[in-house]
Amino acid sequence: MKRLINSQQLMERAQKIIPGGVNSPVRAFKSVGGTPPFIMKGAGAYIWDEDGNRYIDFVGSWGPLILGHAHPEVISAVSHTLKNGTSFGAPTEKEIQLAEMIIERVPSAEMVRLVNSGTEATMSAIRLARGITGRDKMVKFDGCYHGHGDSFLIAAGSGAMTLGEPDSPGVTAGTAKDTLLAKFNNIESVAGLFEKFNDQIACVIIEPVNGNVGCIPPQNNFLQDIRELCTRNGSLFILDEVMTGFRIARGGANELYNIDADLLTFGKVIGGGFPIGAYGGKKAFMEHIAPVGPVYQAGTLSGNPVAVTAGIETLKRLDQKAYDQLEDSGAYFAQKMQSLIDENDYPLMQHRVGSMFSLFFSKGPIRNVDDVKQCDFERFNQFFHYLLDNGVYIAPSQYETGFISLAHQKEDLDNTVHIMSEALKQMNI
């Protein structure tokens, strides 16, 4: 078992001055129990905690570290940029360069606006869609996460086609009434909402791969059918690619699934580990944003040169060879895990899209959040702690996704599968 003496002391200290001792809820390990390791440093595929324990890292700062931790060329470029200043609140050439790189890669992106986070990107995209259409309501999917904006913190109502209800104190009923909830991989739920509210729906926003309840890919032309419904009803289709963008393909899900989105949101990888986000889309829509159009959005730190530099240096290295390697590693890891499941007839299943993956403690099928809720959470928690104690760091929740980076070697993947095998044996699953 890993010794977490220093981490325990840091947690006790943090809890006195930071709510829950953390600056983002999942870090508290509330769903799995125990003390979260406080991380001291990272390099390549590994992180080290304040007690000196090393872990093979499959969280990667929740996805952006596609090159691995502390990539030397990214660090070098960022250090050079820092010498020239940290922030100007004024235009820089690097902003243009990053926007050009995004547009060159993403088929549906003709213009881009940089912001400071994925949450800011999705909030801005929704406002833009409402401003363009003159409509108030939006459709989101139960289990899809688009940041902590009020419009997104909505729970399903009492019926299949009801208005949403606030999912957090502080979100008003007035805000919730404009968010409609559909089911991921269930096109009938989307069609039903359009039938009932068609001339009121400004947009549909979706994670093309549902990555915040585990890794769940779209099935049976689900995304294409949503595109058709939006076109038919005069609503905008927004792909939230904060997680999938530049992670699952060079042009993200927009390219992988050949979806002609109206607007897209980005984050994670385009910051190379620094805080940044972006939203983009068709020029005709993006030109509704101030100062060209009437829809207002601003940010003093938007296009911060340090974050932009990290994004440029990350995207430079993500050529087709890099994506072939990520696919190779993802397929290799999935095959090893599937062999482990099949040979032992474990009641488990997995999903993978490129270098995103999830192992579910259920025989499946896993099509949306309702299926994930049926997983064996107690077994997952035991599994998580065995991995953590033996040097493998995965997300502390069955509701999260794992990420493979270019820094992960086959030896790391083999070692991880071996530790997983030992965990499952110990659990007598």
Tens of pLDDT, residues 380-426 = 999 999 999 999 999 999 999 999 999 999 999 999 999 999 999 99
Q: Could you tell me the pTM of the whole model?
A: 0.95
Q: Is the pLDDT of residue 164 over 70?
A: no
Confidence tier at 140 by pLDDT (50, 70, 90) = very high
Tens of pLDDT, residues 90-99 = 999 999 999 9
Question: Is the link from the previous residue into 365 a cis peptide, with omega within 30 of 0?
Answer: yes
Q: Are 312 and 288 part of one and the same domain?
A: yes
Q: Are 267 and 336 part of one and the same domain?
A: no
Q: Are 99 and 47 part of one and the same domain?
A: no
Task: Characterize 12-34 residue by residue with b for buried, 16 or more Cβ atoms within 10 angstroms of its Cβ, and e for exposed.
Answer: eebeeeeeebbeeebebbebbeb
Tell me the three state secondary structure of residue 251: coil
Confidence tier at 166 by pLDDT (50, 70, 90) = confident
Q: Are 377 and 360 part of one and the same domain?
A: yes
Q: Are strands 402-403 and 356-360 parallel, antiparallel or unpaired?
A: antiparallel
Element (H, E) at 133: helix 118-133
Q: Does the CA dihedral 218-222-227-229 come out positive or negative? A: negative
Q: Are 382 and 235 part of one and the same domain?
A: no
Pair of tokens at residue 188: 């009938």
Q: Give the residue numbers spanning the domain of 386.
A: 5-71+319-427
Q: Are 209 and 297 part of one and the same domain?
A: yes
Q: Are 296 and 376 part of one and the same domain?
A: no
Lowest-pLDDT choice from 159-163, 300-304, 424-428: 159-163
Q: Are 294 and 377 part of one and the same domain?
A: no
According to the model, what pLDDT value does residue 153 have?
85
Q: Which of 316, 344, 370 is the last residue of a domain?
A: 316
CATH code (residue 122): 3.40.640.10
Q: Higher model confidence: residue 164 or residue 88?
A: 88
Task: Provide the domain count of the chain.
Answer: 2
CATH code (residue 362): 3.90.1150.10
Pair of tokens at residue 168: 């957090």
Q: Which of 301, 316, 331 is the last residue of a domain?
A: 316
Confidence tier at 156 by pLDDT (50, 70, 90) = low
Q: Are 335 and 395 part of one and the same domain?
A: yes
Q: Are 312 and 325 part of one and the same domain?
A: no
Q: Are 84 and 66 part of one and the same domain?
A: no
Q: Give the strand order in the sheet containing 277-281.
A: 111-115, 277-281, 263-266, 236-240, 201-206, 137-142, 179-183
Q: Is the pLDDT of residue 223 over 60?
A: yes
Task: Give 62-80 as a DSSP string.
Answer: TTT-TT-BT-HHHHHHHHH
Catalytic residues: 145, 240, 268
Q: Which of 262, 292, 316 is the last residue of a domain?
A: 316
Q: Is the pLDDT of residue 162 over 70?
A: no
In this structure, are residues 247 and 356 in contact, taking their beta carbons and an 8 Å threshold? yes
**What is the C-alpha to C-alpha distance for residues 263 and 242, in angstroms, rounded to an integer?**
12
Q: Are 116 and 215 part of one and the same domain?
A: yes
